[in-house]
Amino acid sequence: MKFTWFNLMPWPHLPDDFREKNRSVWVDIDQALFDPVKCHEVYNDYLDLLEYADQLGYDGVGINEHHQNGYGLMPSPNIMAASLARRTSNAAVVVLGNSIALYNPPIRVAEEFAMLDIMTGGRFVAGFPVGTSMDTNYCYGTIPGLTREKYAEAHELIIRAWTEKKPFAFNGRYTKLRHVNLWPNVLQTPHPPIHIPGGGSVETYDFCLDNTYSYSYLSFSGYLRAKALMEGYWNRVGQRNADQSPYRAGFAQTVFVAETDEEAERLYSEHAFYFYNRCLHVYPGFADAPGYRTIKTIQSGNLNQYTRPNYPTLTWKDLVDGGYIIAGSPETVRQRMEELIKGLHVGNIFLLLHVGNMPKDKCMYSTKLFAEKVMPHLRNLHPEHATDNRFWCKPISRRATPAPVGQAEMVPAQ
């Protein structure tokens, strides 16, 4: 199993009446709610937490890209990744990912990911989401009906730039480059492993299978509701006669651990409510720009998780019973996690252990309990696939370490 400690980096200061007084947490969120001085603290705390997860032995530390979003303060996850590259030492830095249709030219992603791959000594996992409609279309202006074609072209360019070790010309429809010659280029061979966040379209299943990429379902609605979608994926894997390695799939799950189930509710419920009842307040008109989803995907009835105009206010019981969150004592969490891992047949878990407006100390408590009392029991749930390393990074063994601050050895000029 690979456990990645994932942080969305939510803004923790949305007011109590946010949902009543604002139409959306995303795209046109009120500038007056933002405070850069507070954000200075927030960024610092979140990076501390990611670094703490590295120290506790999580396999990866994960970050992602959102724009104009009150629950995701990372327009550029690569900047956070660069910081983590120096201040973490063992965990993979998982950037899940860069919305490659948004970069002009997309070679920029190939370059920055190559830099991160090198800086981390190969402790790097790449992600290429198409990006939500909110980010891709409404914030970044990509034409919905052309988004996927643009994405496919960007993907082709990036992979060729990483793997063709000589200059080439790229005559794309959206990007034309006479001299593609990445320098520096990636450290891992043939390139860093790639995870693709998806929302249930068959095209994305096939894209992952064609390229040996891991398919990640990053829903916030939990493992019980993910069953049908993940079954669809595994059915497709079967139809395509691919092996059933659980590392072909990843899943994001919100988790809270305390000494007891009661303590979990007492410590964490307000933060779960903050996230589920406040942060996910997205104006339905932003959820799905017409043309963004393929007709095939719409016909499959797989509609966007934000299209429900009036989502209910969820109680702790709703959240736990509905599987949105896995919360409780280490034993409760272990049981539920095992259900999740076996039920969805996944090898990569993206743990949302920081949620909403959770303060640092509570998050560290939960993170430590999971690392020490839950994770060890879940490590070997897929023993038959233990040697499958196709979907995870391959760091070099002799990695450089940052000199302690202020103690860099001064080499006198010769």
Partner 1 sequence: MITARKIETRAAEVNVLSGGTGPDLLFLHNAGGVTAENPFLLALAKKYRVFAPQLPGYGDSGDSDNIRDMLDVTLHSFDVLEALGLEKPILIGHSLGGMIAAEMAALRPREVDKLCLIASAGLWLDAYPVPDIFTLLPREFPAYMFHDAEAGAKMMATGGNMNDPAFLIPFLVTNSRQLGMAGKFLFPIPDRGLKERIHRIRARTILVWGDSDRIFPAPYAQAFKSLVPGAELVSIPDAGHQVVLEQTDSVMAAIGRLG
Residues of this chain that interact with partner 1 (CB under 8 A) are 137-138, 141, 143-146, 149, 173, 283-286, 289-293, 295, 298-299, 301, 303, 309
CB of 212: closest distance to partner 1 in angstroms?
A: 27
Instruction: For residue 177, give the 3-state DSSP assignment.
Output: strand
DSSP code for 69: B
Based on the number of CB atoms within 10 Å of its own CB, is 45 exposed (0-12), middle (13-18) or buried (19 or more)? Answer: middle
CB of 286: closest distance to partner 1 in angstroms?
A: 6
CB of 25: closest distance to partner 1 in angstroms?
A: 15
Q: How far is CA 64 from the centre of its chain?
A: 5
CB of 144: closest distance to partner 1 in angstroms?
A: 5
DSSP code for 173: S
Cβ nearer to partner 1, comparing 117 with 288: 288
Cβ nearer to partner 1, comparing 287 with 333: 287
Cβ nearer to partner 1, comparing 37 with 295: 295
CB of 342: closest distance to partner 1 in angstroms?
A: 30
Cβ nearer to partner 1, comparing 291 with 322: 291
CB of 299: closest distance to partner 1 in angstroms?
A: 6
Cβ nearer to partner 1, comparing 184 with 285: 285
The pairing of strands 194-198 and 176-180 is unpaired
Residue 219's contacts (CB-CB under 8 Å, 6 or more residues apart) are: 199, 225, 226, 229, 251, 252, 305
Cβ nearer to partner 1, comparing 149 with 339: 149
DSSP code for 95: E
Give, to the nearest 10 degrees, the angle between helix 261-274 and helix 360-369: 130
What is the token pair recorded at 173? 């429809």
Look at the block and give the residue holding tokens 């063994």: 397
Taking the C-alpha atoms of residue 150 and residue 128, their distance in angstroms, rounded to an integer, is: 13
Instruction: For residue 83, give the 3-state DSSP assignment.
Output: helix
CB of 152: closest distance to partner 1 in angstroms?
A: 12
Instruction: For residue 75, give the 3-state DSSP assignment.
Output: coil
